[in-house]
Structure 1
Amino acid sequence: MNLAAISVLAFAMSTDAFAAAVGKGTALLKPRWSEALRTGAIFGVIEAITPIVGWALGSAASDYVKAWDHWIAFVLLLGLGGHMLLASLKTAEDEVEKPKSHGFWLLAVTGFATSIDAMAVGVGLAFLDVNILTVALAIGLATFTMVTLGVMVGRFVGAVAGRWAEGLGGILLMGIGALILFEHLKAG
């Protein structure tokens, strides 16, 4: 995986967290930088840990599925990207009311919920020749940045931009999955 692919993956993984951060920023009257940085740090750390956990789980099973690794990565990324794209198309009536509190545990649970996709991507990356620590760090930094900005701009752009970003992230994930499959099939 080259630097461009890692960057695109990191951005794609951070978009659902960005969408949640926009919601958090929208719920606040005047978001402060300290709250945005705190929220970004919580989400970023969780988002950096989950692909490592997924990678470890995937590595444990790698000997059993080496012949199918490219298809597994493709299906996981396609499914996650499709899920993110469908979630981005929900209307306001379909969404659950956003909480007004920014307590640590609420942010941690929200951060974990938005990082499940990163764990699944980690499982898929276990079957590829990739430095998981580099990818996890990139995902964590991208998430930190996107969440911090999402909180700060949330009151100005509202939930529409969050859904748009999540849809774009879903499309990017599906594209990465297709690229992985294409590169493997082309090499073989």
Structure 2
Amino acid sequence: MDVAAPMVWGQIISIGLLALALGLDALSLGLGIGMRGIRKRDIALISFIIALFHVLMPLAGLWMGGYISLMLGKVATACGGVLLLLLGGHMVVNTLRKEESAGYNPSTLWGMLLLAFSVSVDSFSVGISLGMFSGDVWLTVLMFGAAGGLMSVAGLLLGRRVGSWIGEYGEALGGVILVGFGIHFLL
């Protein structure tokens, strides 16, 4: 029996939970955009771009976090935990404010890129935090990309059919999960 197997599964579960937490932004925004009406071709394209951003942004963050980790050592772990706490808290506060953002057209290239960037920016920051710890980089970014892409498809398709009752709470749930990981890293 391999002793490392529980550690590998623990890493997969942890990364999977983070990927789901980060993907909740894509689900939430997808619900809102889907409720306005969107073509299936645009759903596929938006979801692909979001998945790509959910791979590239944390990958860049992981590389930066690895470099910061070499420079700072154990202080980097605490910084990563604080960063996750701040990101999660920000997501929860944004949900509680319930501010309406200005409308834009998500079926244009710039609209798709703006949407993908907005739901992936927290993936970059989480990538920095995760880069301060040892872990499988490709597993992490591929799980982030898969979760972001699949959750955006789900959000856009569900948004075409249901009301906004899930959308406003998705970001808050993702924020609570990030806060939990931040506390874990600090302890």
TM over 0.5: yes
Aligned pair partner of 1:115 in 115, 120, 134 = 120
Given that residues 66 and 133 in structure 2 are in contact (C-alpha distance below 8 angstroms), is that contact kept between their aligned partners in structure 1? no
TM-score by length of 2: 0.88
Given that residues 51 and 120 in structure 1 are in contact (C-alpha distance below 8 angstroms), is that contact kept between their aligned partners in structure 2? yes
The alignment partner of 1:99 has SS state of: coil
Aligned pair partner of 2:28 in 2, 19, 38 = 19
| Counterpart AA for 1:116 | V
Distance 1:59 1:101 in 2: 34
2:48 is equivalent to residue 41 of structure 1 = yes
Given that residues 36 and 149 in structure 1 are in contact (C-alpha distance below 8 angstroms), is that contact kept between their aligned partners in structure 2? no
Matched residues, percent identical?
A: 28
What are structure 1's unaligned runs of at least 5 residues? 183-188
2:166 is equivalent to residue 166 of structure 1 = no
| Counterpart AA for 1:66 | G
- C-alpha deviation, 1:27, in angstroms: 1.4
Total equivalences in the alignment: 178
Q: Which residue of 2 aligns with 1:175?
A: 180
What are structure 2's unaligned runs of at least 5 residues? 1-9
Distance 2:65 2:48 in 1: 26
Aligned pair partner of 1:83 in 87, 90, 100 = 90
Distance 1:90 1:156 in 2: 26
- C-alpha deviation, 1:180, in angstroms: 2.4
Distance 1:157 1:77 in 2: 31
Distance 1:107 1:13 in 2: 18
Deviation beyond 6 Å, 4+ runs, structure 1: none
